C-alpha cells in the first residue's frame, strides 16, 4: 500500500525504518539514486553531513526539516532539495520519509539571471562612466575651450547612442521571449527582405571597402514577421561587414531546399558569407549567448552590444527555423538561416 503510494510520486522518495535503514525506495528513487540503496543505512546512502543532521533530528525529536543534497552519477550532478518528515509506522515506531525535489534547473536559471544582471550593469556602467568623465572635463579644464568642447560632446553623443541601442536590444529580446510560442503567420518575400537589407547597408559597406552581392533572384515566400526577418539579416550582414575582410566581398545567397531534415519539409536557405578572419571553433557554440563576443574590445569600438546573434537566434526559433554558423579560421564565415517555406 505505502509502496504503491510512493511509486506514484514523481519525486524520488525513501522511507527509513525505525533503525534507519531504507525500507522503501520508490520507483523514481531506484531510478535516480540506484537500487543498491534498499536495505542500506541512511548514513551510507546520504553521506552528506548537511542532510544527516535533519534525519537524526527527525528520529530523535520527531522534528521535520529539509536540506540540500548533491547526487552525482557519472558526469551528471543533480541538486536536490530534500524534505525530511517523521512518520508513525506500524506499532507506533518512528520512521522517516525523505522526498527529493530536483532543483538543479531552478539553480541554473538563478545563476543565469545573476550573470545577466551583472552583464547588463557592466555594459551600462562603461558608457555612463565615460559620460560622467566628459561632463567633469567640460565643467572644469575644457570649460572655455571651444574645439575641445565639440569633441567631447560628440564622444558623449556616441556613448549615449550606445546605451540607447543596448536598452532597445534588451527590450527587443524580452519582447521576443514573450512571443516565442506564437508563430508568425503573414507571408513575407525573403528575396525582397534580403534586397532591402542590402540596399540599406550598401553605402556604409562601401565606405569600409566592402561590396555586397545579393544572389536572390527567385521569389521566396515564408510565413514570417517582416520586421523581425529584416532585423535578422541586417544583423548578419552587419556582422559580415564588420568582422569580414575590409576591403572584401560579402554575399547573401538565397536557395530553395526541397526537404530539410530538421524542419521536415520544404524550406528556404539563406547564407550570409564573408572572407574575414573567421571564428575559432571553440567560440562558435557560444556566439548566440547574450553579450558573448570573441573580441570584446573590437566589438565595443564598433558600437556592438553582443546581443545581435542572441536576437537572431530568438527570431529564427520563433519562425521554427534553424541557425548554423560555419567558419574556417583564415578563410571566412558563413552564417546559414533556414526557414520553413510557406
Ligand atoms: N561574420 C563574422 N566573422 C567573425 N566573427 C563574427 C562574425 N559574426 C559575429 N562574429 C563574432 O560574434 C560576436 C557576437 O556577434 P553579435 O552580432 O551577437 O554581437 P556584436 O556584433 O558584437 O554586437 P551587435 O550585434 O549588438 O552590434 C561578435 O562580437 C564577433 O566576435
Ligand atoms: Mg552583430
Distance 286 CA to ligand 2 centre (A): 14
> Quick one: CA torsion of 204, 210, 212, 213, rounded to 10 degrees?
170
- Provide the residue count of the chain: 342
∠268-337-281 over CA atoms, to 5°? 145
Query: Residues lining ligand 1, judged by CB closer than 6 Å?
Result: 235, 239-240, 243-244, 274, 276, 279, 287, 293-295, 299, 304-309, 333
Distance 301 CA to ligand 2 centre (A): 12
Bond preceding residue 218 cis, omega within 30 of 0: no
**Buried b / exposed e across 266-280, counting CB within 10 Å, b at 16+?**
ebbbbbbbbbbbbbe
Give the Å distances, CA to CA, from 78 to 16, 34, 52, 102, 105.
Answer: 22, 14, 18, 7, 9
| Most informative mutation of 304, 305, 324, 329 for ligand 1 (most atoms within 8 A of CB) | 304
Q: Which of 238, 239, 272, 266 is nearest to 254 (CA)?
A: 272
Atom of ligand 1 nearest to the CA of 310: 18
What pLDDT shows up at residue 305?
Answer: 86
Give 295-307 as a DSSP string. Answer: SHHHHHHTT--S-
Atom of ligand 1 nearest to the CA of 239: 8
Q: Which of 268, 265, 285 is nearest to 326 (CA)?
A: 285
CA distance 93 to 59: 10
Distance 244 CA to ligand 2 centre (A): 12
Give 211-277 as a DSSP string. Answer: EEEEE--S--EEE--HHHHHHHHHHHHHHHHHHS-SSEEEEEEEEEEEEETTTTEEEEEEEEEE-S-
Sign of CA dihedral 184, 189, 193, 196: negative
User: What nine digits make up the cell of 114?
Assistant: 545573476
CA distance 132 to 130: 6
User: What nine digits make up the cell of 129?
Assistant: 562612466
Residue 267, phi then psi, degrees to nearest 5 = -150, 170
Catalogue all structural domains in the chain, each as residue range(s) with its CATH number: 1-102 (3.30.450.20), 183-341 (3.30.565.10)
Q: State the residue for C-alpha cell 559580415.
A: 240
On the CB side of 55, CA atoms within 13 Å amount to: 29
Q: Report every protein residue that has its C-beta within 5 angstroms of ion ligand 2.
A: 235, 239, 308
CA distance 185 to 340: 12
Give 247-266 as a DSSP string. Answer: SEEEEEEEEEEEEETTTTEE
Per-residue pLDDT of the chain (342 residues; tens, 9 = 90+): 889 999 999 999 999 999 999 999 999 999 999 999 999 999 999 989 899 999 999 999 999 999 999 998 877 889 999 999 999 977 889 999 999 999 999 999 999 899 999 999 999 999 999 999 999 999 998 889 999 999 999 999 999 999 999 999 999 999 998 888 899 999 999 999 999 999 999 999 999 999 999 999 778 999 999 999 999 999 999 999 999 999 999 999 999 999 999 999 999 999 999 999 999 999 999 999 999 999 877 777 777 889 999 999 999 999 999 999 999 999 999 999 999 998
CA distance 207 to 205: 5
Q: Do 58 and 20 contact (CB within 8 A), yes or no?
A: no
| Most informative mutation of 278, 309, 334 for ligand 1 (most atoms within 8 A of CB) | 309
| Most informative mutation of 165, 172, 282, 287 for ligand 1 (most atoms within 8 A of CB) | 287
Burial environment of residue 229 by CB neighbours within 10 A (0 to 12, 13 to 18, 19 or more)? buried
Amino acid at each position: 500500500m505505502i509502496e504503491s503510494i510512493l511509486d506514484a510520486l514523481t519525486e524520488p522518495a525513501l522511507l527509513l525504518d525505525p533503525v534507519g535503514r531504507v525500507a522503501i525506495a520508490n520507483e523514481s528513487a531506484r531510478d535516480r539514486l540506484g537500487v543498491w540503496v534498499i536495505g542500506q543505512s541512511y548514513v551510507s546512502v546520504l553521506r552528506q553531513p548537511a542532510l544527516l543532521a535533519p534525519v537524526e533530528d527527525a528520529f530523535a525529536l520527531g522534528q521535520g526539516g529539509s536540506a540540500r543534497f548533491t547526487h552525482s552519477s557519472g558526469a551528471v550532478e543533480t541538486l536536490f532539495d530534500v524534505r525530511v518528515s517523521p512518520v508513525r509506522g506500524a506499532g507506533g515506531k518512528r520512521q522517516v520519509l525523505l522526498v527529493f525535489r530536483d532543483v538543479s534547473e531552478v539553480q541554473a536559471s538563478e545563476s543565469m539571471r545573476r550573470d545577466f544582471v551583472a552583464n547588463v550593469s557592466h555594459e551600462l556602467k562603461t558608457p555612463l562612466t565615460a559620460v560622467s568623465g566628459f561632463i567633469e572635463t567640460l565643467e572644469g579644464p575644457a570649460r572655455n575651450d571651444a574645439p575641445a568642447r565639440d569633441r567631447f560632446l560628440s564622444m558623449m553623443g556616441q556613448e549615449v547612442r550606445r546605451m540607447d541601442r543596448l536598452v532597445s536590444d534588451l527590450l527587443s529580446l524580452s519582447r521576443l521571449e514573450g512571443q516565442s510560442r506564437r508563430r508568425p503567420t503573414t507571408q513575407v518575400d525573403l528575396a525582397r527582405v534580403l534586397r532591402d537589407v542590402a540596399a540599406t547597408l550598401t553605402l556604409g559597406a562601401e565606405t569600409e571597402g566592402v561590396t555586397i552581392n545579393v544572389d536572390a533572384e527567385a521569389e521566396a515566400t515564408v510565413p514570417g514577421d517582416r520586421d523581425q526577418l529584416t532585423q535578422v539579416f541586417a544583423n548578419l550582414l552587419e556582422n559580415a561587414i564588420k568582422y569580414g575582410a575590409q576591403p572584401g566581398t560579402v554575399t547573401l545567397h538565397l536557395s530553395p531546399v526541397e526537404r530539410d531534415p530538421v524542419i521536415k519539409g520544404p524550406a528556404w536557405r539563406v547564407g550570409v558569407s564573408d572572407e574575414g578572419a573567421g571564428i575559432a571553433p571553440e567560440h562558435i557554440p557560444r556566439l548566440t549567448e547574450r553579450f558573448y563576443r570573441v573580441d570584446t574590445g573590437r566589438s565595443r569600438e564598433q558600437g556592438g552590444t553582443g546581443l545581435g546573434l542572441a536576437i537572431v537566434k530568438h527570431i529564427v526559433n520563433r519562425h521554427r527555423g534553424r541557425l548554423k554558423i560555419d567558419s574556417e579560421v583564415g578563410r571566412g564565415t558563413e552564417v546559414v538561416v533556414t526557414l520553413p517555406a510557406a
